[in-house]
Amino acid sequence: MTWADFWALIATLNGEATHANCRRLAEELSHRPVPDIVGFAERHAEALYRLDQEKFGTLPVVDLTARDGRPFPQSSDGFLYARCAVVAAGRTVWESVFSDTEKFAPYTSTECDGEWLLYVPDEAYELATGEEWDRTTRCCFESYSNRDGWPDLRT
């Protein structure tokens, strides 16, 4: 799947990874050949992996503070869901955050959750084949897996 095809499918989310939008995307993707579903999963994982960087992951949650008033850090799951929300917002937003970290910040909000996007490839595969998918992708999308994005975590 090309990046252009991936972003065209993401555009069907209308900028938000709601349950209904992601379900609709999974259904649309399930009507394509299985290699397209695999290709979507690969592009999605790579898009998330590229966002897995310290400059984004250390941003505080924008609408939370600790009891003592300090900024509230993102959890690893929260950071993953924020990255999904950035991807769901579309290519223009995704590309823009790399040059302006503050454009990522609104996606750390507790009101902005892209978690449903994580399940689109698996749901599409199951709809297409009737089988569960125990998938792996070339890039790991889990938080802190991009060692180049987190130089202090290198071993």
Q: How many structural domains does the chain have?
A: 1
Per-residue pLDDT reduced to its tens digit, 7-37: 999 999 999 999 999 999 999 999 999 999 9
> Among residues 26, 25, 10, 17, which one has the least CA distance to residue 126?
26
69 in any annotated domain: yes
Contact predicate 94/87, CB 8 Å? yes
Contact predicate 139/45, CB 8 Å? yes
Using only C-alpha atoms, the chain has a radius of gyration, in whole angstroms, of 16
> Among residues 91, 16, 17, 9, which one has the least CA distance to residue 47?
91
143 in any annotated domain: no
Per-residue pLDDT reduced to its tens digit, 65-111: 888 888 889 999 999 999 999 999 999 999 999 999 999 999 999 88
Residue-range definition of the domain harbouring residue 98: 3-131
pTM of the model: 0.94
